[in-house]
Amino acid sequence: MPTPPWMKGPLLLQPDEVLKPTTKRSSNNNSKAPEKALFGKESGVRGKKVMKKIIRDVEKLQGNGVLDDNQIGKFEEFEIGNWLEEIGSDGEVKKIDRKMPWVREEEKVVFRRMKKEKVLTQAEIILDNDLLERLRKKAMRMRKWVKVMKAGVTQAVVDEIRLVWRNNELVMLKFGVPLCRNMDRASEIVEMKTGGLVVWCKKDVLVVYRGQNHWLTSNGRRVFNNLASDNNTTMSQEKSNASTWGRSLNGEDRDENNQPVVGSLYERETDRLLDGLGPRFIDWWMRKPLPVDADLLPQVVPGFRPPTRLSPPKTRPKLTDEELTNLRKLAHPLPFHFALGRNRNLQGLANAILKLWEKSLIAKIAIKWGAQNTDNEQMANELKDLTGGVLLLRNKFLIIFYRGKDFLPQGVANSVMEREMALRRCQLIEEDARVKVAETFQVANEPLAKTSTVGTLAEFQDIQTKYGVLEKENNELEIQIEAQKENLERELRNQERKLAILNGKIEKSATKLAKLNSSWQTAEPDLDLETITEEERECLRKIGLKLSSCLLLGRRGVFNGVIEGVHQHWKHREVVKVITMQRAFLRVIYTAKMLVAESGGILVSVEKLKEGHAIIIYRGKNYRRPSKLMTDHLLTKREALQRSIELQRIGSLKFFAYQRRQAILDLKLKLVL
């Protein structure tokens, strides 16, 4: 057997032969074997995978003891990707400083996410670790809870919590919307209102510990007796200092100089914006800062009046669609300024909104969850009448108002009024001076009463007194008539456009329905019908009514699948009961005749049942099961459903078209009158 070519070379490779990935093949046959043994193919192969394979093979040779340390040192001097070897025309090996395409010069920078420091809860700060661990294990086994509804932690919920604390040191609370979306805020509210400590939290569930100073414990009774006498005084102080209390709940603990020391810049700026507008809503379910509780503001403000409005020169107060869209986008990330739960008597809220508009363009009002009989439309209409602002958005969750282009702050409005009064005084002074000059230069023989007033302020005031009111009334009446006429014409054009759209839809639906109706036809009735006697008919009727199995006829009507079902029933019994939900009796009779014609049976009776009408069909004494149960001349199941949908659609469209025609006739009659 001849020796293979790859065995002619040396079995042990030299380091310089191993570490030449890009060297061109020489004419030496012995150099091909090491390259093939190492690469698995010719030495012209390049790439990142080949380099990795070379490194793995070298490490394997080192592990087997084939290569010594000196040879490995030579390999370390070889920098992969920094230079390449090429053989020149004179046979000399040259080193060329050329970068591999996969080698990058810049260093790879890795940005690691900073871990947030865990904020310790009040329970972890106050309670011992052993006690806290025991309470948490006990909380995990609890299965009874107190449900907190939309209204939040109300006084009824607090009373129920204290009732549970009489028999157990822990109470479990299960929160609904909206507090379940912000459990950190729910923990703060519970701890503030109950005086307990939240020891365990999972999803929408909190477990509250009554504390070591609870009045049921020995230590708590002593503390409770000392504080019982001051309870009423403390409650009154809390109500009077609701605004300050809200700021402390907002995460801004203040030092002796009343400077905020805790809280983000966003919270501090919003808190500064809302200072002085009213008490805060401590049951707020979203993130801080806390909005102003509009229900605690006065219902009636003495001397309140809508603000003075004046548009800048060459500016219309009405907003364009683009401006309206931009303002809505601007209002989306803003915090809520007020929380409202009542529909009427909103003068106090309107007064606070006017103060807010002196610092902000937009007032954002949240509607309280769980408040009874809230009507956002009534709220928005009353606030619009009181403030004169522009309603940007209104739904069952929030109301957003824009102050308007013509809004004037109170200071600017006072300056404008003072300027108008000064102008009026100047006009009066000018008129007095003109009258005095006229008296000085009058003719001696002409009486004073005949002095002309043409072009004077007195003439203008006389004209306004005599004709101004009448012209104003006539103009207002004409404007109202023209406005009503224009509204009627616009509504007429709108109704005609909608009627044209409906007629187009009716034509399209009628075309589809005609196409479906043309794809099926009823079978011709058999003239040679089998007859049955009255006794047989009565017997078959009773048998059919007693049958428990029946064939239901749905909205698709009679199609090929229904006829197949009739024959499947006749395979085991002589009578089939078909139940249809059609209300009109004429439609039921038509369906029964169609079933008899398509199946070839005998109609026994049509009975009124509780669930609909029952059609009882007898197969006949000469019945022969057909070879093909499904007929070809009827609609398929899918086509029957499409036909039913089109029938329903065209009926609805015709009804709406009739309503549009009646509305058009009424509008034309109003325009004629």
Q: Which residue has the higher pLDDT, 563 or 248?
A: 563
Residue whose entry in the numeric block shows the structure tokens 């054009």: 493
Which region among 29-43, 118-132, 363-377, 468-482 has the lowest average model confidence (pLDDT)? 29-43
Q: Residue 362: what pLDDT?
A: 94
Q: What token pair was written down for 282?
A: 């401590």
Please report, rounded to a whole number, the percentage of residues in the chain having pLDDT higher than 70: 72
Order of strands across the sheet with 551-553? Answer: 551-553, 575-580, 613-618, 602-608
Q: Is the pLDDT of residue 464 over 90?
A: no
Provide the whole-model pTM. 0.49
pLDDT of amino acid 436: 80
- Structure confidence at residue 117 as a pLDDT band (50, 70, 90): confident
Is the pLDDT assigned to residue 216 strictly greater than 90? Answer: no
Write out the two tokens for 525.
Answer: 């009735």
Q: Provide the pLDDT confidence category of residue 630 given band limits of 50, 70 and 90.
A: confident
Res 245: pLDDT:
37
Task: Give the residue, 79 or 55, on which the prediction is more confident.
Answer: 55
Please compute the mean of the pLDDT values over residues 113-117 and round it to a whole number.
69
Query: Which whole number is the average pLDDT over 641-648?
Result: 92
Span 62-87, average pLDDT:
52
| pLDDT tens-digit series, residues 487-513 | 999 999 999 999 999 999 999 999 999
- Domains in the chain: ranges and CATH: 122-209 (3.30.110.60), 265-408 (3.30.110.60), 534-634 (3.30.110.60)
Whole-number pLDDT of residue 452 = 61
Winning range, highest mean pLDDT, from 97-101, 306-310, 399-403, 471-475: 399-403
Distances (CA, A) of 384 to 344, 350, 392, 481, 591: 12, 9, 11, 26, 60
Q: Please indicate whether residue 617 or residue 56 has the higher confidence score (pLDDT).
A: 617
What would the pLDDT profile of 131-142 be if each residue is shown by its tens digit?
999 999 999 999
What local confidence, expressed as pLDDT, does residue 248 receive?
A: 40
**Which 3 state secondary structure label does DSSP give 658?**
helix
Most confident of 15-24, 459-468, 571-580: 571-580
CA-wise closest residue to 617 among 559, 558, 550: 550
pLDDT grade for 109, boundaries at 50, 70 and 90? low
